[in-house]
Chain A
């Protein structure tokens, strides 16, 4: 799409673009290039000596069972967060869509968690599930279930999934609710006249109509689980116990910062970039479709 009416001017458009381009060049292209460059180097932390090692860092990362493990951990984590927050968001949206009175109030009460930072959400859930001071953590232990997310990998994963999903439920709720509102009443009435039961009607009529929203949310939630949940893991488990909650992003951080392995961390960054490019490509194909929808 192009405009017909435009302004003249030679220097002005460049001047207007300058701030955005400068920030993009310095804080995007430069670091991205640096990641590529460092991924083929082996460097001491103080930057006093560097050796060119070709693709050795990549070979090392990809053959490290720990890395493959954290790839699996990330997949489990992202799938769980997405599934949990999508289903909870959809369920609440379906309920809220039926409500006439108090709909606005319910909406307010159900969307505020979106404002909570993932790390703060983690802290709030820690207050509940801490084995010694948490209401639910103590209740579980009192009931004879040995609950300590600091020692048990499965429990740690459950807790980070819960804390990470919490705020995302609000986001999904909002989009599903909007999606439900957009379904024409006539479609629903026609389905009702067919005499199908409400539950069946939902899965055969409503849910397919929501599929563009669902697919969009699927991508958004996956991206969230991959990249925005560092704070949850850092605040709650630091990747442990064992490596039970070490996701790819967390590993980039640990190797680059705690372990001072710049080459290995850069190689992981490059691999992650490839993953994001793939995810974004999927997202854009979808957005294009949705514009026509």
Chain B
């Protein structure tokens, strides 16, 4: 990692500034004309996805001469985020950093630490047609007035996987998965009665699936101010009849042996390929692993919903990450050449060819309709039934609302952990669901107020 001691010591910075201005000269990038501009790119994708991402970058490096992108894996998403922030304070931030979707509000509040993508494109005169992007994908990373803040990249949504062998054993139609929670409950009872040796139902990413997606599908707000898109003053609204009903169902199903809590984050993923759960709600990104590991027939379908909620279902929200453009440090801004290089790279990865390859290799969503059409025309979805489900689900209902655009809450990483903790206590029988939701709301709102204060300036 290149060190620039010149930008050290925030506390003593003023003194250094006064004493030794010469020290602060940033190493100039514009060397000989022929040398490519080097751009540092930090990502948080473990193997094998990280390797596929780096291969994509390598292909781009080979395709042109002006820019060389240096990818480097920096640990999990939260670790990558912390590393990038620390590097910014030290004046050595990477040019591009991959940031998970729940960190969006933090990055958006970062002020002059980031260069918004719309500004980058404007200043470099580069054109990327965001109107062709899937609305749920681009919308998550836009400001309230529709300007693109970061470059959407690896996106997934959550879907339902089911074990067809277990369905057969239980006398259920293996090609007809439950579409509503009423049907799901009936299927669970049949599966339990059939003694498949597996738990009928589990959910991965506990809060994403059971709170965030349930809110979006039924067009119910998760927080005020358009889920936080309209301002920092948002307050949680998860303590509502629908969420309470859903979580009480989970607790009840658990006590009847129909549902099993599979642990935090994506710990429950493993239960499906291992044959230990019959129906699993998980990220669409689980597909690649199921393909590789499952030794039984399985299917991929849309998330169930409560059909007595008027208007439901509409589109689900996405998960995943986007690329943010960072300034080098508090007093270390990007050169024209660097910005042009970044913009060109972004344009390249949004092309249908690159997107189609990424989508079919990894199982992440294609970013654009053009890429989706290209993959569809290639017959990929006939060969891989179910692979188009996430895209169809993102377009379901045909009307993205303030409640299904995404979530823009400061400190959402922490809020997710809080919701998870309170949910865990409810599932362990330590508190009723109503109490869990009230606690999560109080604690979550405190995080929101702290974030608001930190970023008011």
A contacts B directly in the complex (CB < 8 Å)?
Answer: yes
Chain A residues at the B interface, C-beta cutoff of 8 Å:
34, 42-49, 51, 66, 132, 148, 150-153, 238, 240-243, 257-261, 264
B111: which A residues are within 8 A, CB to CB? 44, 46, 48-49
A45: which B residues are within 8 A, CB to CB? 85, 106, 110, 454
Q: Is the CB of A47 within 8 A of B330?
A: yes
Q: Is the CB of B113 within 8 A of A259?
A: no
B88: which A residues are within 8 A, CB to CB? 46-47
Q: Is the CB of A241 within 8 A of B424?
A: yes
A174 to B138, CA, bound (A): 62
Q: How far is the CB of A270 from chain B (nearest CB, A)?
A: 17
CB-CB contacts below 8 Å: B415-443 with A: 417, 420-421, 424-425, 427-428, 430, 443
Which segment of B174-182, B233-241, B259-267, B277-285 sits at the interface? B259-267
B52 on the interface (CB 8 Å rule)?
Answer: no
B123 on the interface (CB 8 Å rule)?
Answer: no
Q: Is the CB of B428 within 8 A of A242?
A: yes
Contact of A242 among B85, B411, B414, B425 (CB under 8 A): B425
- What count of chain B residues pass the 8 Å CB interface test? 39
Contact of A46 among B89, B420, B453 (CB under 8 A): B89
Q: Is the CB of A240 within 8 A of B424?
A: yes
Q: How far is the CB of B452 from chain A (nearest CB, A)?
A: 11
A148: which B residues are within 8 A, CB to CB? 263
Chain B residues at the A interface, C-beta cutoff of 8 Å:
10-11, 78, 82, 85, 88-89, 106, 109-113, 261, 263-264, 267, 270, 274, 330, 411, 413-414, 417, 420-421, 424-425, 427-428, 430, 443, 447, 450, 453-457
Q: Is the CB of B421 within 8 A of A44?
A: no
Contact of A150 among B82, B263, B411, B453 (CB under 8 A): B263
B414: which A residues are within 8 A, CB to CB? 258-259
| Most interface-central of A48, A238, A261 (chain B CB within 10 A) | A48
Q: Is the CB of A261 within 8 A of B450?
A: yes
| Most interface-central of A34, A153, A242 (chain B CB within 10 A) | A242
Q: Is the CB of B264 within 8 A of A46?
A: no
Cβ-closest chain B residue relative to A64: B446
Contact of B455 among A47, A49, A153 (CB under 8 A): A49
Q: Is the CB of B85 within 8 A of A46?
A: yes
Q: Is the CB of B428 within 8 A of A44?
A: no
A185 to B289, CA, bound (A): 67
- Contacts known (A66-B443, A259-B414); A49 close to B428, Cβ less than 8 A: no
Q: Is the CB of A44 within 8 A of B261?
A: no
